[in-house]
Amino acid sequence: MVRGPVVRAAEAAGVAIDGDRPWDPQIHDERFYERLVAHGSLGFGESYVDGWWDCDRIDELFHRLLRADVDRHFAAAPRLAAWRAHLFNLQRRGRAFEVGRRHYDLGDDLFRAMLDRRMIYTCGYWKDAATLDDAQEAKLALVAEKLALKPGMRVLDVGCGWGGTAHFLATRHQVEVVGITVSAAQAEHARELCHDLPVEIRLQDYRDLDGRFDRVLSLGMFEHVGPKNHATFLRVVRERLADDGLFLLHTIGSLASSRDGDAWLVRYVFPNAVLPSAAQIAAAIEGRFVLEDWHNFGADYDATLMHWHANFERAWPTLAARYGERFHRLWRYYLLSCAGTFRARRNQLWQLVLSPHGVEGGYRSPR
């Protein structure tokens, strides 16, 4: 009987199965316990989407379980996916557009309702911000300041999303921007948004880039590159960057090196995604760049995700007919479980500033 160990592990984290607190899960199907033990995070997420359990505060449930390391007791046995990630390059050029089709092309109505007014789908900067719009504008302003942008510079945005960053940089800092994305929906929206600005949007894999740029930035795209391609990505950026240029890399980071991602997130939300570790990033940087600055504001992703979730739930009545209740449960679980993961400090949000040869006199990074 596997129920007992699950109940005891939860209690050690301050979680009571079928308890009366908001973070206590309510189990509707006793098969949940065997599914969790057999399949780990995949079984946990799938059983929620299937309606086998509910919880008012999934974010706080994850926070408590992860702070107590409960997940380490229920890690599934090595999966076929892990061996595939070891043997094959799952993020090779031929698969680069899969995440665009399966995630970012889901529907602009969904992302427009969930995100800020610029549709920035990366962590906001909440140091002095009170709203999601403020936090995303503060993040873009921080990026621009770290890159020391000057009018007339040519800037490359690798993973440009719906064009909000390119629009901000071109209008606020009078720079020329080339943005690339693997999402057809994002590319179409970004072109419309930036049609009257010195901005070019390309539907393109980073490995096919050409041209030379004074500055390069990548916000929330490196998670899709994969460990087998980290060095290739950094090599491509170095080849495209001027010798006196700067590169800002903004990425979610993992505390441990891995060759594959969370089983549930990879299957249902971000195909082929793998969070990089500090060691993996450092190895890819070595011999290519001087590391000028490494900034961690991972706790800010908790607030960002909770605002996205609030927006999503508020807009759900207008989205329900198109997406259906199963998607509702899946998306709620995605947003809230990720918020809890950042709250538990299991995942980080890193901004690195890199230069080809080192900034003469030293680099002073703003905060």
For residue range 222-276, list pLDDT tens digits in order: 999 999 999 999 999 999 999 999 999 999 999 999 888 999 999 999 999 999 9
Asked if pLDDT for residue 79 goes beyond 60, the answer is no
pLDDT band, residue 91 (cuts 50/70/90): low
Residue of 185, 304, 196, 203 whose CA lies nearest to 250? 304
Give yes or no for a contact between 41 and 71, defined as CB atoms under 8 angstroms apart.
Answer: yes
Asked if pLDDT for residue 26 goes beyond 60, the answer is yes
Q: Is 238 in a helix, a strand, or coil?
A: helix
Mean pLDDT of the chain: 94
pLDDT tens digits along 171-213: 999 999 999 999 999 999 999 999 999 999 999 999 999 999 9
Q: How far, in whole angstroms, is CA 75 from its chain's centroid?
A: 22
Q: State the Cα–Cα distance between residues 350 and 317, nearest whole angstrom.
A: 35
% of the chain beyond a pLDDT of 70 = 94
Sheet holding 154-158, edge to edge: 199-203, 176-181, 154-158, 213-219, 241-254, 347-355, 290-296
pLDDT of residue 88: 53
pLDDT of residue 92: 58
CATH topology of domain 90-355: Rossmann fold (3.40.50)
How many C-beta atoms lie closer than 10 Å to residue 181's C-beta?
27
- Burial label, 231 (beta-carbon count in 10 A; 0-12, 13-18, 19+): middle
Q: Domain spans of the chain? A: 3-77, 90-355
Catalytic residue numbers read 338
pLDDT of residue 294: 98
pLDDT tens digits along 1-21: 789 999 999 999 999 999 999
pLDDT of residue 2: 84
pLDDT tens digits along 37-78: 999 999 999 999 999 999 999 999 999 999 999 988 766 545
User: What values do phi and psi take at 147, rounded to 5?
Assistant: -85, -5
pLDDT of residue 87: 47
Question: Mean pLDDT throughout 282-287?
Answer: 97
CA 259-260-263 angle, to 5 degrees, is 160
Give yes or no for a contact between 53 and 26, defined as CB atoms under 8 angstroms apart.
Answer: yes
pLDDT band, residue 98 (cuts 50/70/90): confident
Question: Mean pLDDT throughout 125-130?
Answer: 97
